[in-house]
């Protein structure tokens, strides 16, 4: 029986115990040096694997803690992207109107001010809320602390963000801009014309 150090548990005060097979606690002596060295290598690799497979309870705690952080930061990231999108649409709308010599009084027509629907926000964040943690068996260097675990989780998030938003957030941003363009067109040209 061996206790993991506080560095492995990420500073948690609860000691985590891992039971190792008896073959790991002692290395059998052998007359053959090659047999002895291969036994030692095999024993050491088993020890590393046993240490790498973190206690299930600790891993669950890390996943829950990390998921909550990722959801919070990603929600802020989405809001920041939406604010940037509003700036882009308004700046480009003004630039196009200037080039076409179209003047719309600021009080005559509202600026583009699309907001994230709270119901849609949960859809955008679904890939994070459904995250079940890192696949430890597929990781070459298993994290030895929570900080390292969170770093790897953020790398995972960076890789999954674009493909997920490509099917949820980005189409909504484009659709909102198209709807705004249609409103402006109707305001300028009227409802019954070839441009509406």
Token representation of residue 41: 């290598």
- Residue 60: pLDDT above 60? yes
In a domain, 97, yes or no: yes
Residue 137 pLDDT greater than 50, yes or no: yes
DSSP, res 146 = H
Whether 62 has a pLDDT exceeding 70, the answer reads yes
Give the pLDDT band (50/70/90) at residue 143.
Answer: confident
On whether residue 21 sits in a domain, the answer given is no
Domain-embedded: residue 31: no
Mean pLDDT of 109-127: 92
**Residue 185 burial class via C-beta count within 10 angstroms: exposed 0-12, middle 13-18, buried 19 and up:** middle
Query: What is the mean pLDDT of the segment spanning 95-101?
Result: 88
**Structural domains of the chain, count:** 1
Read out DSSP for 70-122?
HHHHHHHHHHHHHHHHHHHHHHHHHHHHHHTT----TTTSPPP-----HHHHH
Q: Is the pTM of this model over 0.75?
A: no
Name the burial class of residue 66, with classes exposed (0-12), middle (13-18) and buried (19+) by CB atoms within 10 angstroms of its CB. Answer: buried
Buried/exposed code over 125-146 (b: 16+ C-beta within 10 A; e: otherwise): bebbeebeebeeeeeeebbbbb
Range of the domain at 111: 55-189
Residue 186's pLDDT is: 86
Residue where the block lists tokens 């040096």 = 33
pLDDT for res 54: 55
For the residues 47-75, what does the mean pLDDT come to? 79
- Determine, yes or no, domain membership for 183: yes
Q: Is residue 159 in some structural domain?
A: yes
128 compared with 138, residue with greater pLDDT: 128
Q: What is the pLDDT of residue 191?
A: 66
Predicted pLDDT at 17 = 42
């Amino acid at each position: 029986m061996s206790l993991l150090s506080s560095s492995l548990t990420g500073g948690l005060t609860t000691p985590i115990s891992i039971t190792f097979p008896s073959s790991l606690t002692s290395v059998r002596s052998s007359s053959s040096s090659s047999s002895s060295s291969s036994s030692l290598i095999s024993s050491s690799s088993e020890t590393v694997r046993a240490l790498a497979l973190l206690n299930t309870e600790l891993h669950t705690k890390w996943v829950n803690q990390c998921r909550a952080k990722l959801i919070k930061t990603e929600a802020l990231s989405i809001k920041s992207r939406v604010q940037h999108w509003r700036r882009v649409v308004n700046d480009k709308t003004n630039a196009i109107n200037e080039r076409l010599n179209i003047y719309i009084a600021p009080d005559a027509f509202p600026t583009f001010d699309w907001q994230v629907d709270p119901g849609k926000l949960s859809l955008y964040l679904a890939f994070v809320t459904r995250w079940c943690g890192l696949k430890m068996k597929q990781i070459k260097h298993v994290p030895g602390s929570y900080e390292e675990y969170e770093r790897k989780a953020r790398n995972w998030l960076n890789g999954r963000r674009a493909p997920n938003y490509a099917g949820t957030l980005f189409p909504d941003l484009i659709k909102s801009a198209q709807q705004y363009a249609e409103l402006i067109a109707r305001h300028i040209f009227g409802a019954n014309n070839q441009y509406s």
